[in-house]
Amino acid sequence: MKIKLIISMVVLIICSASMLQDKYELLYPNYFPSPVYDFEKNELTTEKIELGRALFYDPILSKDNSISCASCHSPYNAFAHTDHDLSHGIEDKIGIRNAPALFNLAWQTTFMWDGAINHLDMQALAPISSPTEMGEDFKNVVEKIKRKPIYPKLFFQAYGDSLVTGERLLKALSQFQLTLVSAGSKYDGVKKETAEFSDQETAGYITFLKHCNACHREPLFSTYQFKNNGLSIDSSLNDFGKGVITQKAKDSLLFKIPSLRNLSYTYPYMHDGRFRKLKEVINHYTSGIQETATLDVRLKNGISLTENEKVDLLAFLLTLDDKNFVFNPKNKFPKKILLPSEGIMNN
């Protein structure tokens, strides 16, 4: 009798804990397409997002507790890694690719420059286990998380009990990343009719629609397909992109089309960070295209632009910078959780 009572009380506590969770509605403008992430399998709640945020910023995920996801994906760089052409992991090890910016991930089905990962919930396993990134065994990460005092409580708040599992950890990381929506640039203001383009920006927009929009399609500024945009092969990296994954000749040198939002914050550019300036990128399209078998037909012979068109295009690209996203306090290091004593002092 007593045992039954205890069991039903425990059930009640668990139920009420999960009922207390705050559902989180992902907000995005009406001119965005519908997200493709299946939220039914990982329903967003404020508590799970907060857990994911703590995990994203916690270097405990790496072998020597020195590198967090945010070490390579900094909020101030739209979650890319400014100034580093190739990524830097534990023990100063250098990777082979540029860390991409992270935003609008709910609209993407394939991840990494070569499309190696086809579900966001699986993505984190790659950097955690990569010897040049976090170099850690995933099982060990779960054990370390179990032992760190803040986590059982955060897991309890998120899942209704304090059980730490790999699946919960990965889904929470996805939750935080899914909330990284960039839709607050000047371009968005124009779409929402709260801002207006200058004449130069309007001219740049027209040039953009003519030459770039087929691949960097608005309003996300990517179709998230894989294309060869005519970069020369770096003989020290010998990176064939999607071809490495599928081993098919037709995929050789295809890379995921990156979004053009937030470019001011995400330099250097391209999968290997070879260009530091947007001018260099534009000059690549006008006079640097390399002809290879898989080059996209749109780029055969390059794109012809006058000097004026180049300047206008640049002005338009800068309207895609989203300060509201980059400086959103909700996306930053969760000081109160990860450094509670300092958090109190500074608040």
The stretch among 149-157, 179-187, 281-289, 331-339 that binds ligand HEC (CB under 6 A) is 281-289
Question: In Å, how far from its chain's centre is CA 326?
Answer: 12
Counting contacts by CB under 6 A, is residue 124 touching ligand HEC?
yes
Contact assessment for residue 63 and residue 39, using Cβ atoms and an 8 Å cutoff:
no
Q: CB-based burial of residue 313 (10 Å sphere; 0-12 exposed, 13-18 middle, 19+ buried)? A: buried
Counting contacts by CB under 6 A, is residue 172 touching ligand HEC?
no
Instruction: Show the binding pattern over residues 60-79: x = contacts ligand HEC (CB under 6 A), - = does not.
Output: -x-----x-x-xxx------
Comparison of 112 and 220: residue with beta carbon closer to ligand HEC = 112
Counting contacts by CB under 6 A, is residue 219 touching ligand HEC?
no
Instruction: Show the binding pattern over residues 227-256: x = contacts ligand HEC (CB under 6 A), - = does not.
Output: x-x-x-----------------------xx
Closest CA to 66 of 99, 101, 92: 92
Collect all residues with Cβ–Cβ distance below 8 Å to 215 and sequence separation of at least 6. Answer: 222, 223, 225, 227, 229, 257, 296, 298
Comparison of 47 and 58: residue with beta carbon closer to ligand HEC = 58
Counting contacts by CB under 6 A, is residue 106 touching ligand HEC?
no
The stretch among 40-48, 92-100, 323-331, 333-341 that binds ligand HEC (CB under 6 A) is 92-100
Smallest gap from residue 96 Cβ to ligand HEC (A): 7
Residue choice 44, 164, 172, 303 for contact with ligand HEC (CB under 6 A): 303
213 phi and psi angles, rounded to 5 deg = -65, -25
Residue choice 276, 298, 300, 323 for contact with ligand HEC (CB under 6 A): 298
The stretch among 17-25, 149-157, 189-197, 266-274 that binds ligand HEC (CB under 6 A) is 266-274
Q: Residue 243 half-sphere exposure, CB side, CA atoms within 13 Å?
A: 15
Smallest gap from residue 202 Cβ to ligand HEC (A): 16
Counting contacts by CB under 6 A, is residue 337 touching ligand HEC?
no
Residues 260-298 as b or e (16 or more Cβ within 10 Å = b): bbbbbbbbbbbbbbbbeebeebbebbeeebeeeebbbee
Residue choice 97, 242, 261, 310 for contact with ligand HEC (CB under 6 A): 97
Residue choice 78, 169, 172, 212 for contact with ligand HEC (CB under 6 A): 212
CA dist 140 → 137, 185, 292 (Å): 5, 41, 44
What is the C-alpha to C-alpha distance for residues 179 and 28, in angstroms, rounded to an integer? 10
Smallest gap from residue 303 Cβ to ligand HEC (A): 5
What is the C-alpha to C-alpha distance for residues 249 and 123, in angstroms, rounded to an integer? 25
Closest CA to 188 of 218, 156, 162: 218
Classified as helix, coil or strand, 4 is helix
Instruction: Show the binding pattern over residues 308-327: x = contacts ligand HEC (CB under 6 A), - = does not.
Output: -----x--------------
Counting contacts by CB under 6 A, is residue 169 touching ligand HEC?
no
Type and span of the H or E element at 37: none
What is the C-alpha to C-alpha distance for residues 95 and 100, in angstroms, rounded to an integer? 13
Collect all residues with Cβ–Cβ distance below 8 Å to 233 and sequence separation of at least 6. Answer: 239, 240, 253, 290
Contact residues for ligand HEC, defined by CB under 6 A: 56, 61, 67, 69, 71-73, 87-89, 95, 97, 99-100, 102, 105, 111-114, 123-124, 127-128, 133-134, 173, 177, 211-212, 214-216, 227, 229, 231, 255-258, 260, 263, 266, 269-271, 281-282, 285, 296, 298-299, 303, 313
